[in-house]
Amino acid sequence: MQSVERQGKTVDEAIALALADLGASLEQVETEVIEEPSKGFLGILGGKLAKVKVTLKPDPLQMLEEFVQGVCERMGAQVQVTVTADDEVVSVNLAGQSLGLVIGKHGQTLDSLQYLANVVYNRNAEMRQRVVVDAGGYRERREETLLRLANRLAEKAKRTGRRIMLEPMSAHERRIIHTALQNDYQIVTYSEGEEPYRKVVISLK
């Protein structure tokens, strides 16, 4: 973290000088008073200036970007990381030629990266937010695939009268299946098994 130490006749003056050096506002920094000012003998001799240390607060968005970039590079994936934020979610989008390494089978590696990104961001941010990590629009394509799968297997359950068990999925993907079929009056869905092998079951009511 970038820090500067400055002196001034008063603590406020020393802080103002440090803020000018950093090009920052008071809200963006942490301040530490190293030495209070003092007057010398008869107010003239031996007086001391105030001395402060001013440190830029860590930028959680920048730290998040650097973390995700570093993890991808260690995996051997050359990607470009873009981080944006609004009031509801922090979005991390990955672009590049080696996204398959980052996504993994059915997005398992991407989900793990997203979990770690949430930990890193919310450990440094003042307000807790949800972090979503996507790679080349994978999550939208995966959701569309799951919706088609849910409807196709629901029709199969109706046709055969047998319950159908899907492959193990993350909690987020299971929720997509449940939501897709929740208004089908002939079908009921539920989950079976223990994580990480928990599966959705589609059955007739």
> Residue 111 carries which side chain, given as an amino acid letter?
D
pTM above 0.75, yes or no: no
Residue 61 pLDDT more than 70?
yes
With CA atoms as reference, report the closest residue to 107 among 134, 130, 80, 131.
134
Confidence of residue 22 (pLDDT cuts 50, 70, 90): confident
Name the residue ranges covered by the structural domains of the chain: 3-56, 60-136, 140-204
Nearest to 58 by CA among 124, 106, 153: 124
Q: How far is CA 6 from CA 10, 17, 152, in A?
A: 11, 7, 69
Q: Which residue has the higher pLDDT, 43 or 58?
A: 58
CATH architecture of 140-204: 2-Layer Sandwich (3.30)
**pLDDT computed for residue 40 by the predictor:** 63
- Which CATH code, of 3.30.300.20, 3.40.50.720, 3.40.50.620, 3.30.590.20, is assigned to 60-136? 3.30.300.20
- Other Cβ atoms less than 10 A from the Cβ of 91: the count is 15
